[in-house]
Amino acid sequence: MCTILLSIHPKYVEKIIKGEKKFEFRRVITKKRPDKIIIYSTSPVCKVIGEAEVDNIIIDDPKNVWNQTKKFSGIEKELYVEYFADKEIAVAYKLKNVIKYDEPIELKEFGIKSAPQSFVYI
């Protein structure tokens, strides 16, 4: 078990905070199974705004993952299909116990110099 930091677009960060988006999708499988995700909101915010526990991880064919997550995907199906075009595997982190920090935190407080393209272990 470990903690990872994910770079997420501000539009989707807000949906996660509101509980409209309960799954975060990735094309890359982590080697270690994360039990917590630190949420970094990308430009123009550029700060860590909160965290969430990982309730479950779904790793499967993109069509099967969509069928299991679409109700709380927080994204349009067209964007999902485009994101996983030509991919055999989709990863969906089911989030729970989302916490929004009172004050956003700089990446340097986590010992990170720049935002990760996908994820970074903390």
Residue 117 has pLDDT above 90, yes or no: no
Question: Mean pLDDT over all residues of the chain?
Answer: 96
pTM over 0.75: yes
Structural domains for the chain: 2-121 (2.30.130.30)
Residue 42: φ, ψ to 5°? -70, -175
Digit-coded pLDDT (tens) for 30-68: 999 999 999 999 999 999 999 999 999 999 999 999 999
Is residue 21 within 8 Å of residue 74, measured between CB atoms? yes
What average pLDDT score do residues 69-91 get? 96
Beta bridge mates, 36: 3, 53
